[in-house]
């Protein structure tokens, strides 16, 4: 079926634009970039049509990548229902965002570079979901991270952008570190990295009660997923990543890349279902993240930051779904979330494009000036709030139901989060579009090349939930328990509606009330407003110690403290201090010789005197 063509198109687009884009016209760049994604989307549809109903895994082996002993790791791509859903999201939503970017980036420098990176991202993302073994998945995994890094830092003259890019990369390295150890353990435990082999072997093993190899693998993979999908404790990079151009936020940091962690957990469902402890951890991380990020979202004034925390929160929902065993629902939510969250970002981008401003406090009353943006954003908002029969309603309720059957308190926490979600999203809508204009003088609606994708996504946000994703995926996953319970659905819907109503009360009916409440809450509000000071805590607890220990500890303590102190006492010719590494590297040859002698004697004593006479 030539699955390889799906990633190959964007790769070709990247190469064409990367090599010739600098001198080529914008029309050429547009045609190549959008054409590549369109071709990839169409080829996905064609493949899907040909393989329909795709009941079994369709595997294509191209060539052997590594052959070491009896272990073969191939350059293999595979398509099953799970990757088909992902592909449709990636290429479909990706296509719309590419088109939107033509308008959004029209006046930016480095136009060709932007589209080249965007295509490269598509290539790696598609590779990630089509990969048929862990190693190839890891290639895509690292590749999307690299592209995200390049695109966050796209406006590299802003130092905040480069800092954000660095932060994203480094935080993700922490996650990848866990992920790579997880992959090593899989290799060690199963002797293979191929999905079919590993998952079959895993499903034959008994369910682990305590901490066994599968649990360990599951936990390590989850560490990787928390990095990529911005979950506690590694979520801190995503809000900063909003420094990138808005289409990047929509594509990479809302619809696709950040969902890679969820995809990976769902992909490894065979491992997780045999490691309940790891699943419980995933569920708890997801729930905690969903709630925490939602509370932070309540207080933010940068419209992109609001949606960034919303993304973190919604990803937490997906983790919760996966953790309670509702993998299908989790992917279902991934599907609907891709529509409404991409729409939220693109709509925000449209506002930013119109005003040159992303602070909600300086917007207000934009309803008339930007009607299309308003109506489409409203569609996204009702969808994410779970208003009945919109896309978000179906997927969120499935997750909450599954959570209820797992542990009722999780359902209640999730429902509370749903209310918070509805509140902060409508807070943003009301602040931007209602009330009096606050500080802007001229605004204009975006050009059709931007509004058409908005409209299409709005339609998808409203009706995308009718695609029976989780039922279609059901054969791929172990059956999730839980049947429809009208009362629970009614409660969660009610929570969403209450959130909307409260937002209306605060920001439209009684403007000024919000400030008073914030003032009343005082310290608590400031705690939330400052995002619980997590960045500051990380800096104090993790970043600073590394710098300090390499500079201060080795330096001041070891050197000045021990060596110098000792030397001062022993010999009169103690001289000035330097750090330990610096002492090592003093430039003085005789010191170097002493180190060599020390090493040789150390070896002689350990091997020769102590160890040799066995």
Partner 1 sequence: MTHSFVPTGVELLRLSPEILLVLAGTLLLVLEGLTGAKRGRELGRLALVALGAALLASLAAARQPGLAFSGSISADGFATFFRLVVIAAGLLVALFSGPYLRRESAERGEYYALLLYSVAGQCLMASANELIVLFIALETSSIASYVLAGYLRADRRANEAAVKYFLLGSFASAFLLYGIALIYGEAGSTWLGQIRAALAGPPGSATPLAGAAAAFLFAGFAFKVSAAPFQVWAPDVYQGAPAPVAAFLSAGPKAAAFAGLLRVFMTAFEPVSASWEGIVWVSALATMIVGNLAALLQSNIKRLLAYSSIAHAGYVMVAVTAHSSIGTAAAMFYLAAYVFMNVGAFAVVSYFARQGERYVHVDDLAGLAWRQPVVAALLSLLLLSLIGVPLTGGFFGKFYVFTAALEAGLVWLTVLGLLNSAVAAYYYLRILVVMYMREPSEAAADLAAPPAPVRAALWASALATLILGIFPSTVLEYASKAAALAP
Partner 2 sequence: MDALLFLIFASIAAVCGLNVVIQRQPIASALSLIGVMGSLAVLYLLLGAQFIAAAQVIVYAGAVMVLFVMVIMLLNAGAERPTGASLVASTLGVPLLAGLFAALAYVIFAGFPEPELVRFGQFRQGGAAELGYALFTRYLLVFELTSVLVLIAIAGAVVLAWREVKR
Partner 3 sequence: MSAAGVPLSWYLVLAALLFTLGAAGFIFRRNIITMFMCIELMLNAVNLTFVALAYHLRQVDGLVLAFFVMVVAAAEAAVGLAIILTVFRNRASVQIDEVQALKD
Q: Which residues bind partner 1 (CB under 8 A)?
A: 22, 64-69, 135, 138-139, 142-143, 146, 150, 153, 156-157, 161-162, 165-166, 169-170, 173-174, 176-177, 180-181, 184, 187-188, 550-551, 581, 584-585, 587, 589, 591-593, 595-596, 598-600, 602-604, 606-609, 611-614
Closest CA to 506 of 232, 305, 196, 299: 299
The Cα–Cα gap between 323 and 285 comes to 9
H-helix or E-strand containing 62?
strand 58-68
Q: Which of partner 3, partner 1, partner 2, none binds 563 (CB below 5-8 Å, type-dependent)? A: partner 2
The Cα–Cα gap between 196 and 328 comes to 19
**128: CB partners within 8 A, 6+ apart:** 137, 139, 140, 141, 143, 144, 260, 263
Shortest reach from residue 612's CB to partner 3, in Å: 16
CB closer to partner 2, 188 vs 605: 605
Shortest reach from residue 264's CB to partner 1, in Å: 15
604 binding partner 2? (CB under 8 A): yes
Q: Which of 588, 599, 604, 605 binds partner 3 (CB under 8 A)?
A: 588
Q: Which of partner 3, partner 1, partner 2, none binds 188 (CB below 5-8 Å, type-dependent)? A: partner 1
Q: Which of 515, 585, 603, 606 binds partner 3 (CB under 8 A)?
A: 585
Per-residue contact string for residues 517-556; x = within reach of partner 2 by CB under 8 A: ----------------------------------------
Tokens of 479: 């059956």
Please compute Rg for the chain using Cα positions: 27
Q: Which of 590, 612, 613, 614 binds partner 3 (CB under 8 A)?
A: 590
325 close to 365: Cβ distance less than 8 angstroms: no
CA count, 13 A, side-chain hemisphere, 437 = 12
At 216 the three-state DSSP class reads helix
Shortest reach from residue 395's CB to partner 3, in Å: 56
CB closer to partner 3, 570 vs 589: 589
The Cα–Cα gap between 90 and 264 comes to 15
The Cα–Cα gap between 567 and 162 comes to 45
Q: Which residues ranging from 569 to 598 are in contact with partner 2 (CB under 8 A)? A: 570-571, 573-575, 583, 586, 588, 590-591, 593-595, 597-598
481 binding partner 3? (CB under 8 A): no
345 close to 339: Cβ distance less than 8 angstroms: no
Tokens of 544: 């600073």
Tokens of 226: 């928390």
Cis before 392 (ω within 30): no
Q: Which residues bind partner 2 (CB under 8 A)?
A: 563, 566-567, 570-571, 573-575, 583, 586, 588, 590-591, 593-595, 597-598, 600-601, 604-605, 608-609, 612-613
Q: Which residues bind partner 3 (CB under 8 A)?
A: 581-582, 585-590, 593-594, 597
């Amino acid at each position: 079926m030539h699955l390889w063509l799906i990633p190959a198109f964007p790769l070709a687009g990247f190469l064409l634009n990367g090599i010739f884009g600098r001198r080529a016209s914008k029309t050429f760049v547009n045609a190549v970039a959008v054409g590549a994604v369109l071709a990839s989307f169409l080829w996905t549809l064609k493949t899907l049509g040909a393989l329909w109903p795709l009941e079994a895994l369709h595997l294509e082996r191209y060539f052997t990548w590594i052959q070491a002993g009896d272990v073969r790791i191939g350059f293999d791509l595979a398509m099953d229902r799970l990757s088909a859903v992902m592909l449709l999201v990636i290429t479909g939503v990706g296509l719309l965002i590419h088109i939107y970017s033509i308008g959004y980036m029209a006046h930016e420098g480095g136009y060709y570079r932007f589209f080249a990176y965007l295509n490269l991202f598509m290539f790696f993302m598609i590779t990630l979901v089509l990969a048929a073994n862990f190693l190839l998945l890891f290639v895509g995994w690292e590749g999307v991270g690299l592209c995200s890094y390049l695109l966050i830092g796209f406006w590299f003259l802003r130092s905040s952008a480069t800092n954000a890019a660095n932060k994203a990369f480094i935080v993700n390295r922490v996650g990848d570190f866990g992920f790579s150890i997880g992959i090593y353990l899989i290799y060690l435990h199963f002797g293979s990295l191929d999905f079919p082999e590993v998952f079959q072997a895993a499903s034959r093993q008994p369910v682990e009660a305590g901490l066994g190899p599968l649990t360990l693998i599951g936990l390590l993979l989850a560490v990787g997923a928390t990095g990529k999908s911005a979950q506690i404790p590694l979520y801190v990079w995503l809000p900063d990543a909003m420094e990138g151009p808005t289409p990047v936020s929509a594509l990479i940091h809302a619809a696709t890349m950040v969902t890679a962690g969820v995809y990976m957990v769902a992909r490894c469902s065979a491992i997780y279902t045999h490691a309940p402890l790891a699943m419980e951890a995933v569920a708890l991380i997801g729930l905690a993240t969903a709630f925490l990020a939602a509370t932070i979202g309540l207080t933010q004034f940068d419209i992109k930051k609001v949606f960034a925390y919303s993304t973190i929160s919604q990803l937490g929902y997906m983790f919760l779904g996966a953790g309670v065993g509702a993998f299908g629902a989790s992917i279902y939510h991934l599907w609907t979330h891709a529509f409404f969250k991409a729409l939220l970002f693109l709509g925000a981008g449209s506002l930013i494009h119109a005003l040159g401003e992303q602070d909600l406090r300086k917007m207000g009353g934009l309803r008339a000036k930007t009607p299309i943006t308003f109506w489409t954003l409203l569609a996204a908002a009702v969808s994410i709030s779970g208003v009945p029969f919109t896309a978000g309603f179906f997927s969120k309720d499935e997750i909450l139901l599954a959570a209820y059957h797992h542990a009722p308190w999780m359902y209640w926490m999730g429902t509370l989060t749903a209310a918070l979600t509805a509140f902060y999203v409508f807070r943003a809508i009301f602040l931007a579009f209602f009330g009096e204009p606050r500080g802007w003088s001229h605004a204009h609606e975006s050009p059709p090349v931007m509004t058409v994708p908005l409209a299409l996504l709005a339609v998808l946000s409203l009706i995308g939930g009718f695609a029976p994703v989780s039922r279609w995926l059901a054969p791929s996953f172990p059956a999730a328990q839980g049947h429809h319970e009208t009362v629970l659905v009614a409660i969660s819907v009610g929570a969403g509606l209450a959130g909307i109503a409260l937002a209306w009360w605060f920001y439209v009916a009684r403007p000024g009330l919000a400030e008073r409440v914030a003032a009343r809450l005082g310290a608590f509000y400031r705690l939330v407003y400052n995002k619980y000071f997590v960045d500051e805590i990380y800096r104090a607890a993790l970043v600073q110690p590394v710098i300090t220990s390499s500079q201060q500890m080795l330096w001041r303590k070891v050197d000045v403290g021990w060596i110098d102190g000792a030397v001062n006492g022993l010999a009169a010719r103690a001289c000035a201090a330097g750090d330990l590494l610096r002492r090592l590297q003093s430039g003085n040859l005789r010191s170097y010789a002493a180190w060599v002698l020390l090493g040789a004697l150390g070896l002689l004593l350990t091997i020769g005197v102590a160890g040799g006479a066995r």
